[in-house]
């Protein structure tokens, strides 16, 4: 099965059954996610930070890879929708004692879980679970291998829309470790689908995939040229845990060539914004004066992540509810 299998994610009415990848989703679906998230941004400002949309539903966080920020925002998003949330400590679970992924899946389904949120070091893990889960169970990909991180990409799109309005006409630069970044792959797909005028990737040759140009981007190796006159700069974390061999010079040399400083930021448009999916390696990917400066929207990205994840969870659960109602007629 192709990892971009559109049929696995959408039903015949083009409603979200799962959310596994940006690939194969059209502009209308991505815009619906952004619009739905817009309606959830005010929930966090209420005295009681909850809406009842997923009351009675059970959401299980299956994080086979460590994560704090993503797991926490998914948990908060599900709780603000009034769902019951299970956080599975996979490292201490039966999978470490030899139980297969399918065995774990079947046992959780027997507990009547309605949704799995999956992070896994292997590309395609979320697709595998979606293929084998019961038809009434939704699966959301919270990051798989080098393949995709679609909810991070959508919160980045939400951040850009909030600060820049429309996507058409924008010039966006993605800087850093493109080769190992599932975030970058999902961002590129989303930016091109939403109609951004120019997507640039800026990186040393050793941190670019061999097929980079086929992704629909302009490739730059010179940082200063790559961010000149752009509207948005997305800095990436160095994925040192995924690197094999010496792909980098020293961190000091990397910062001198690809670290974002105030001097370099001045090459972008005067109203450019700076983003980073976190966690930041200060002094390696960017200077603290930039990370904490007036053009940084990094903390807003974290806040928007809750609204985006509420939107996606509610859309998938909404599809389940509609299909149950239709089957009962």
In order along its 329 residues, the chain shows pLDDT tens digits of 444 456 799 999 999 999 999 999 999 999 999 999 999 998 988 888 899 999 999 999 999 888 888 999 999 999 999 999 998 866 555 565 656 778 888 888 888 999 999 999 889 999 999 999 998 899 999 999 889 999 999 999 999 999 999 999 999 999 999 998 999 999 999 999 999 999 999 999 989 998 888 999 999 999 999 999 999 999 998 876 555 555 666 788 889 999 999 999 999 999 999 999 988 989 989 999 999 999 999 999 999 999 999 999 999 999 999 998 988 87
Q: Say whether 152 counts as a known binding-site residue.
A: yes
Tell me, yes or no, whether 42 and 17 share the same domain: yes
Q: How far is CA 199 from the centre of its chain?
A: 17
Tell me, yes or no, whether 189 and 283 share the same domain: yes
Tell me, yes or no, whether 124 and 156 share the same domain: no
pTM beyond 0.75, yes or no: yes
Question: What pLDDT score does 307 carry?
Answer: 96
Q: Say whether 295 counts as a known binding-site residue.
A: no
Tell me, yes or no, whether 131 and 191 share the same domain: no
Question: What pLDDT score does 114 carry?
Answer: 95
Which residues, at least 6 apart from 174, have a Cβ–Cβ distance to it below 8 Å? 184, 187, 188, 199, 200, 201, 202, 217, 234, 236
Report the 3 state secondary structure along 37-53.
Answer: HHHHCCHHHCCCCCCCC
pLDDT in tens, 73-87: 999 999 999 999 998
CA 127 – CA 5 distance, rounded (Å)? 9
Give the range of the structural domain holding residue 43, as residue numbers without chain letter: 1-148+303-328
Q: Say whether 122 counts as a known binding-site residue.
A: no
Tell me, yes or no, whether 129 and 208 share the same domain: no
Burial 51-85 (b: 16+ CB within 10 A, else e): bebbeebbbbbbbbbeeeebbebbbbbbbbbebeb
Tell me, yes or no, whether 215 and 129 share the same domain: no
| Backbone φ and ψ of 75, nearest 5° | -65, -45
CA 295 – CA 301 distance, rounded (Å)? 13
Q: Say whether 259 counts as a known binding-site residue.
A: no
Tell me, yes or no, whether 173 and 137 share the same domain: no
CA 241 – CA 10 distance, rounded (Å)? 34
Tell me, yes or no, whether 161 and 95 share the same domain: no
Rg from Cα positions in the chain: 20
Question: What pLDDT score does 263 carry?
Answer: 96
What count of residues does the chain have? 329
The answer to whether residues 234 and 199 touch, using CB atoms and an 8 Å cutoff, is no
The answer to whether residues 274 and 39 touch, using CB atoms and an 8 Å cutoff, is no
Tell me, yes or no, whether 69 and 169 share the same domain: no
CATH classification of the domain holding 135: 3.40.50.1370
Tell me, yes or no, whether 74 and 207 share the same domain: no
Question: What pLDDT score does 241 carry?
Answer: 59
Which DSSP category does 272 fall into? -
Tell me, yes or no, whether 3 and 124 share the same domain: yes
Q: Say whether 270 counts as a known binding-site residue.
A: no
CA 275 – CA 287 distance, rounded (Å)? 13
Q: Say whether 150 counts as a known binding-site residue.
A: no
Task: State how many domains the chain has.
Answer: 2
Q: Say whether 182 counts as a known binding-site residue.
A: yes
Q: Say whether 27 counts as a known binding-site residue.
A: no
CA 316 – CA 9 distance, rounded (Å)? 10
């Amino acid at each position: 099965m192709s990892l971009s299998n559109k049929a696995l994610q959408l039903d015949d009415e083009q409603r979200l059954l799962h959310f596994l990848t940006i690939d194969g989703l059209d502009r209308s679906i991505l815009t619906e996610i952004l619009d739905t998230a817009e309606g959830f941004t005010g929930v966090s400002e209420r005295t009681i930070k909850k809406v009842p949309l997923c009351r009675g539903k059970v959401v299980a966080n299956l994080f086979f890879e460590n994560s704090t920020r993503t797991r926490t925002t998914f948990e908060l998003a599900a709780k603000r929708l009034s769902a019951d949330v299970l956080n599975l400590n996979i490292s201490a679970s039966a999978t470490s004692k030899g139980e297969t992924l399918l065995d774990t899946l079947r046992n959780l389904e027997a507990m009547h879980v309605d949704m799995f949120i999956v992070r896994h070091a292997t590309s395609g893990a979320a697709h595998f679970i979606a293929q084998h889960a019961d038809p009434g169970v939704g699966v959301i990909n919270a990051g798989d291998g080098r393949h995709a991180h679609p909810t991070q990409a959508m919160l980045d799109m939400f951040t850009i829309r909030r600060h820049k309005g429309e996507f058409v006409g924008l010039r966006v630069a993605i800087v850093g470790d493109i080769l190992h970044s599932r975030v970058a792959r999902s961002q590129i797909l989303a930016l091109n689908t939403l109609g951004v005028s120019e997507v640039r990737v800026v990186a040393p040759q050793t941190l670019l995939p061999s097929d980079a140009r086929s992704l629909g981007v302009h490739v730059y190796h010179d940082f200063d040229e790559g961010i000149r006159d752009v509207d948005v700069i997305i800095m990436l974390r160095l994925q040192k845990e995924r690197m094999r061999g010496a792909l980098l010079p020293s961190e000091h040399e990397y910062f001198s060539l690809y670290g974002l400083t105030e001097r370099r930021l001045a090459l972008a448009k005067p109203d450019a914004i700076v983003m980073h999916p976190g966690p930041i390696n200060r002094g390696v990917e960017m200077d603290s004066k930039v990370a904490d400066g007036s053009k940084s929207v990094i903390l807003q990205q974290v806040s928007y992540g809750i609204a985006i994840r509420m939107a996606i969870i509610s859309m998938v659960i909404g599809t389940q509810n509609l299909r149950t109602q239709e089957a009962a007629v």
